[in-house]
Structure 1
Amino acid sequence: MAKWGHGDPRWIVEEREDGTNVNNWHWTERDATAWSRGKLRELLVGIAVENEAGRAELCELKQVEGEASCSNRKGKLIFFYEWNIKLGWRGTVKESGAKHKGLIEIPSLSEENEVEDTEVNVSKKKGDGDVLKDLMRTAGTAKVREALGEYLKALKTEFTLGMILPTKAMAAQELTIQRKLSEDAMQAPSPAALGVRIPTAALRLTERFDASVEQLYSIFTVKELVQKFSKSAAVLEAEKGGKFQMFDGNITGEYVELLTNKKIIMKWRCRNWPEEHYATVALNFVPVLGQTELQLDCKGVPVCKEENMKFCWEKQHFEEIKGLLQLATLHG
Structure 2
Amino acid sequence: MSNMSNWKNVNNCHRTSKNCLNWAKEYLKEQSANLIAEDNGICVQINDLTECSGDAELNQRKGKLIPIIDLNLEFEITVEEENDSKRPIKEVVRTHLIPLLKEQFKNLGNDMVETHSKDVKIESSQLGPATPPRAVTPIEPSQIHTASTPPRPATPTTSNSDTVKSSAQKIINTTNISEVVELQTSADQIYETLLDPGRVAAWTRSRPDIFRHVGSVFSLFDGNVTGTMVELVQNEKIVQTWRLKTWPEGHFSTVTIKFEQASDFTRVHINQEGVPIGEVDAVRNNWQSYYWNPIKNVFGYGALI
TM-score by structure 2 length? Answer: 0.47
Greater percentage in helix: 1
